[in-house]
Structure 1
Amino acid sequence: MDKYLTISALGLYLLAFFGYVFSRKKPDVIFGRYLLLAGCLANFAAVAARAAVAAHWPGISLYEFGLLFNGLLAGILFVIDWRCRMPAVMPVALALLLVMTAVTAASFSLPRQLMPALKSWWLAVHISVAVLAYGLLAASFCTAVLYLWQTKITASNPDDTSKAAWLTDRLIVLAMPFLTLVIVTGAVWAEYAWGSYWRWDPKETWSLITWLIYSAYFHFRLERGYDNPFVMSVASIGFIAVIFTYLGVSFLLPGLHSYLG
């Protein structure tokens, strides 16, 4: 059931994407917004169906983590469009959401029993903070890309450009505590499961690299202000590190986290 709900969510996200790309009037944008909401609901229905079948908190495979990540990202994008009225960012954001949902659907795997190391309430805590951090940073990447596009490629309204920079900054500010908790909860869980807080596993190492990049973002933000192309570029690079931590490490640098793939 969860597989079909995931495919349904993908179809709804695709329709929402076309709704934003080809819209020229406000009612069309609103139509795309509610298609996005429908996709988000289908996505979380897939999460619930998977949890019911697996009988544990989803998140121990790329497929399960992807379900959570995509659903949260869709929800964040819906709120951004509803509250901030930034239709220009939605085609970029929905393109990212479509790619991530397609990757999730392609990585479908049957539910499996939890390994002893995963039978802990830290599973739900660690996975939840990671999903929250990655979802917020994915949205910040989209607004940062919009900012860079508007400042370097097109002649846009300065107010719209500043709004994109402001929203990028707010999303990163919200994400940073969760990104920090990803490392903290992971270290505590590692001590429980493996007997040490840190082993320089590839996933651990790249989580730290990601955290350091976003720490550098805050340094440059204080130095230059967030409404700055270089600072927005650092924000974009940070999300590239997020994607590599999320997907690249799983495929290219197997380690202690390989059972999560």
Structure 2
Amino acid sequence: MIKEGNAFFIALGLYSLATIAYIVFFMLRKEKYAKYGSLIIKLGIAFHTIALTVRTVEASRLPLSNQYEFATSFAWGIALCFAAFEKKYNFKALGTFVTPLILLIAFYAALQSREIRPLMPALQSRWIIIHVLTAVISYGAFAVACGISLMYLIRDKFKSDNFISNHIPDFKTLDTISYRATAIGFIMLTIVIVSGAIWAEQAWGRYWQWDPKETWSLITWIIYSVYLHVRLTRGWKNKKAAVFSVLGFIAILFTYIGVNTLLTGYHSYAFISML
């Protein structure tokens, strides 16, 4: 059977190649490279799924309990969401803006320890599955929304021609797709916070600790709730909405990478379990 580490690094290599293919496609405007990128990213997802499956078998649990496991699952979730949106809306330029995010998180995972250790008592709960899986889906959807929003913000910088018309949707379509991805992410993030509160009460006797991770998750939730509120009540769309989407994903990245690296708290158990 293929080793988990080998499968992960093959996936990482494929994600790198896919990113290069999409960038070459966008810069040289040669459609064949987008086809290569789309095929390679799917191969990457396949090997990534194998890596996660092997990890699950070896650990006798879902791979959702430490920095490496969540980071690799996070990258996998972004890749899956991207593949789904690319297939549904059929515009290849999306890969130029989303695959670098997949690669960023995958490389972050590669820097973490892959050692398998028993779950700490606080992690031995059925809520871990709901809490972390919804986080993976949420972050993946927000990453896609961020990529689409970046595309929106720079679309008017490119001279309109057949390539732009064929491979980048108009502003209205980009805005709509970004909104749908954000709505999915927001629903999942709400479940993340609620399930985390229930889990915290069982593990520590309190629903909310004002832990740095909890606080930044709440800040991120507020950013996206403001985005949805002003969009629905005041008609904020287009560029303002795109800026909110990008800021929201920056908050997501800080919540996950920045908080874990710079701050300590109850959620440090996942980081400590690797030391």
Give distance in 1, aligned partners of 2:158 and 2:35: 25
Q: For 1:185, give the aligned amino acid.
A: S
Q: For 1:202, give the aligned amino acid.
A: P
Percent identity over the alignment? 37
Q: Residue in 1 aligned with 2:207?
A: 197
Normalised to the residue count of structure 1, the TM-score between the two structures is 0.94
How far 1:25 sits from its partner (Å)? Answer: 4.2
Q: Residue in 1 aligned with 2:134?
A: 129
Q: How does 1:36-55 map to 2 (within 5 A)?
A: 36-55=41-60
Q: Residue in 1 aligned with 2:21?
A: 19
Q: How many residues align?
A: 260
Give distance in 1, aligned partners of 2:258 and 2:24: 33
Q: Deviations over 1:217-237 (max 9, x none)?
A: 012212454542112101110
Does residue 190 of structure 2 align to residue 180 of structure 1? yes
Asked if the contact 1:224–1:231 (Cα under 8 Å) also holds between the matched residues in 2, the reply is no
Q: For 1:13, give the aligned amino acid.
A: Y
Does residue 35 of structure 2 align to residue 30 of structure 1? yes
Give distance in 1, aligned partners of 2:169 and 2:8: 37
Q: Deviations over 1:96-140 (max 9, x none)?
A: 111111111111330111111111111111111111111110111
How far 1:155 sits from its partner (Å)? Answer: 4.2
Give distance in 2, aligned partners of 1:101 and 1:39: 11
**Mean CA deviation greater in 195-204 or 25-34:** 25-34
Asked if the contact 2:59–2:116 (Cα under 8 Å) also holds between the matched residues in 1, the reply is yes
The one of 246, 251, 261 equivalent to 2:261 is 251
Q: For 1:103, give the aligned amino acid.
A: Y
Does residue 155 of structure 2 align to residue 150 of structure 1? yes
How far 1:61 sits from its partner (Å)? Answer: 0.9
Show structure 1 runs of 4+ deviating over 4 A.
155-159
The one of 94, 100, 103 equivalent to 2:99 is 94
Q: Residue in 2 aligned with 1:207?
A: 217
**What are the ranges of 5 or more consecutive residues in structure 2 without an aligned counterpart?**
none
What SS does the aligned partner of 1:22 have?
Answer: helix
Q: For 1:56, give the aligned amino acid.
A: R
How far 1:26 sits from its partner (Å)? Answer: 3.7
Asked if the contact 2:98–2:147 (Cα under 8 Å) also holds between the matched residues in 1, the reply is yes
What SS does the aligned partner of 2:93 have?
Answer: helix
Normalised to the residue count of structure 2, the TM-score between the two structures is 0.89
How far 1:192 sits from its partner (Å)? Answer: 0.2
Asked if the contact 2:131–2:192 (Cα under 8 Å) also holds between the matched residues in 1, the reply is yes
Does residue 240 of structure 2 align to residue 230 of structure 1? yes
How far 1:20 sits from its partner (Å)? Answer: 1.9
Does residue 169 of structure 2 align to residue 165 of structure 1? no
